């Protein structure tokens, strides 16, 4: 039998992390227990000394959590994964494990809003320095490196601007300066982008999004490439306590089985929705890595296995028309988050990226009129019809529910 790591991702998604269970169960059982009974006092002592393998307490290790973690490690091509209570708990764990007072972080200026405020508001308090920069140009990254830069942190495509960065080039720059490249791969999932193959040192995800894919769990994960790195991260996570629980692990592991089919369908749908929007007279611009109009279309083709489910656009009528669009749709849900089976639409300047402040949004080119769409797995003609109908109503305020925002 080939190792699960040698199979393509469709097969990995279904079988990784699944073992043999009591009664011949084909799905890992949910061990919904906080603690594990020792056989006798010596057994407990041996477990605590690390002389014998076994479970002690669920914050440290749990079989249901481990089943999910080993699946994610396989999918991302890492040695180990660490399940976290949320994507932000994963971001927090990574910075806690890698940074000390006086260290410097180079962070892409187009990242998840709370990641920005975590770095400035929390890590800033403890003497960590951070620069938010345009990472779409590797030259810019090289220019902004400092002797104390320990971490280069990027999301590609960026949120919500869908600006890309060249992971291979940036990994090279980071390594020449003895810094580590951390990639938040949430927007792509391992189906569409393989950061370890391009030189990244640590990968993290908000599993709330594509990995779980059903908008019913908040969870995160950190994926590492070595046993030593794993031990460091596990110790920190155990001390911080931001671990995932068994039931959410079960749900994520269940969701992951359809990751490949979901993401492929989302890609196909998003491509058609992006083309529709690009051809619509009320749309001023569309940013989608699958369109030739994307300024980094060539990089997208080289680095990603598909353009993804996320689309950014702006209406000719600016944010007033954008509000009418968001209030006029009925299949698209007006909600933040992304990557689930249902299509969503939201307004970053007043929602996901409101906490960043206007100046920082302007630097990151998050305009007030930008509307972000996450395309789901519904029938694509229904999705396009929903948008067409809502766009027809734009500019006629009587039909909109403007007061809702
Ligand atoms: C949602 C998200 C996060 C945070 O994840 P939570 O699960 O909401 O804590 C981090 N990064 C990206 C790119 C996200 O989309």
Closest protein CA for atom 8 of ligand 1: 87
User: Which CATH code for domain 259-393?
Assistant: 3.90.1150.10
- Which atom of ligand 1 approaches the CA of 186 most closely? 13
Phi-psi region of 38 (alpha: psi -120 to 50; beta: other; left: phi over 0): beta
Q: How many residues does the chain have?
A: 405
- The ligand 1 atom at the shortest distance from the C-alpha of residue 219 is 7
Instruction: Compute the distance from residue 112 Cα to the ligand 1 centre, in Å.
Output: 6
Assess whether 150 carries a catalytic annotation. no
pTM exceeds cut of 0.85: yes
Q: Is any ligand 1 atom within 6 A of the Cβ of residue 87?
A: yes
The DSSP string of 74-95 is HHHT-SEEEEESSHHHHHHHHH
Predicted local confidence at residue 393, as pLDDT: 87
Q: Is 159 in the pocket of ligand 1 (CB under 6 A)?
A: yes
Check 46, 55, 59, 264 and give the catalytic one.
59
Give residue 186 CA to ligand 1 midpoint distance, Å.
7
From the CB of 92, is ligand 1 less than 6 Å away?
A: no
Measured in Å, residue 387 CA sits from the centre of ligand 1 at 26
Ligand 1 atom index nearest CA of 208:
7
Distance 42 CA to ligand 1 centre (A): 43
Per-domain residue ranges of the chain: 18-256, 259-393
Query: For residue 390, what is the DSSP state?
Result: H
Q: Cβ(177)–Cβ(206) under 8 Å?
A: no
The protein residue whose alpha carbon is closest to atom 2 in ligand 1 is 206
Q: Considering only CA atoms, which residue is closest to atom 7 of ligand 1?
A: 87
Looking at 31, 112, 153, 230, which residue is catalytic?
A: 112
89-107 pLDDT, tens digit per residue, is: 999 999 999 999 999 999 9
Residue where the block lists tokens 């994610």 = 72
Q: Probe ligand 1: pick from 83, 84, 87, 90, max atoms within 8 Å of CB?
A: 87
Question: 358: burial class by Cβ within 10 Å (0-12, 13-18, 19+)?
Answer: exposed
Question: Which one of the listed residues 184, 201, 245, 260 is annotated catalytic?
Answer: 184
184 CB near ligand 1 (under 6 Å): yes
* Closest ligand 1 atom number to CA of residue 155: 13
Name the 3-class secondary structure at 230. helix
What is the distance in A from the centroid of ligand 1 to the CA of 209?
A: 8
**Closest approach atom of ligand 1 to CA 187:** 13
Going by C-alpha positions, the residue among 396, 391, 258, 395 that lies closest to residue 332 is: 391
Q: Which fold has domain 18-256?
A: 3.40.640
The confidence score (pLDDT) of residue 356 equals 77
Going from the Cα of 142 to the center of ligand 1, the distance in angstroms, rounded, reads 27
**Ligand 1 atom with least separation from CA of 88:** 9
pLDDT of residue 374: 98
Mean pLDDT per 10-residue segment, the chain (405 residues): 93 97 97 98 97 97 98 98 98 98 96 93 98 96 98 96 97 98 98 98 98 98 98 97 98 98 98 98 96 98 98 92 93 96 94 84 87 97 97 67 42
Mind listing the pLDDT tens digit for each residue in 258-267?
A: 999 999 999 9
Cβ(225)–Cβ(198) below 8 Å? no
Known catalytic residue: 112? Answer: yes
| pLDDT value at residue 2 | 86
pLDDT at 396: 59
User: What's the CA-to-centroid distance between 311 and ligand 1, angstroms?
Assistant: 17
């Amino acid at each position: 039998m080939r190792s699960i790591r040698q199979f393509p991702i469709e097969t990995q998604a279904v079988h990784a992390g699944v073992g043999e269970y009591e009664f011949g169960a084909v799905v890992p059982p949910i061990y919904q227990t906080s603690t594990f009974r020792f056989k006798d006092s010596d057994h407990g002592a041996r477990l605590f000394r690390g002389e014998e393998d076994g479970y002690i307490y669920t914050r440290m290790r749990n079989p249901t959590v481990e089943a999910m973690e080993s699946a994610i490690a396989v999918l991302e091509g890492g040695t180990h994964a660490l399940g976290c209570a949320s994507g932000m708990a994963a971001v927090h764990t990574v910075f806690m494990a890698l940074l000390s007072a006086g260290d410097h972080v180079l962070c892409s200026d187009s990242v998840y809003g709370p990641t920005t405020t975590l770095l400035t508001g929390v890590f800033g308090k403890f003497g960590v320095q951070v620069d938010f920069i345009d990472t779409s140009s590797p030259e810019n990254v090289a220019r902004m490196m400092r002797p104390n830069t320990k971490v280069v942190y990027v999301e590609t495509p960026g949120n919500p601007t869908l600006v890309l960065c060249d992971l291979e080039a940036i990994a090279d720059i980071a390594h020449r300066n003895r810094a580590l490249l951390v990639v938040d791969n949430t927007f792509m999932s391992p189906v569409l982008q393989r950061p370890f193959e391009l030189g990244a040192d640590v990968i993290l995800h908000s599993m709330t999004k594509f990995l779980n894919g059903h908008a019913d769990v908040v969870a995160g994960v950190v994926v590492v490439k070595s046993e030593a790195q794993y031990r460091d991260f596990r110790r920190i996570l155990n001390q911080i306590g931001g671990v995932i629980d068994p039931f959410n692990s079960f749900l994520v592991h269940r969701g992951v089985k359809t990751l490949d089919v979901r993401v492929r369908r989302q890609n196909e749908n998003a491509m058609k929705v992006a083309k529709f929007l690009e051809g619509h007279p009320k749309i001023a611009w569309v940013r989608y890595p699958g369109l030739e109009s994307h300024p980094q279309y060539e990089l997208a083709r080289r680095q990603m296995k598909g353009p993804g489910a996320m689309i950014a656009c702006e209406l000719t009528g600016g944010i007033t028309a954008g509000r009418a669009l968001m209030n006029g749709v009925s299949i698209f849900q007006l909600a933040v988050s992304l990557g689930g089976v249902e299509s969503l639409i939201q307004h970053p300047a007043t929602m996901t990226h409101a906490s960043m402040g206007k100046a920082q949004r302007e630097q990151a080119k998050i305009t007030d009129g930008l509307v972000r769409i996450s395309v789901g797995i519904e029938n694509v003609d229904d999705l396009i019809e929903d948008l067409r109908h809502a766009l027809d109503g734009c500019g006629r305020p009587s039909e909109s529910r403007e007061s809702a925002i």
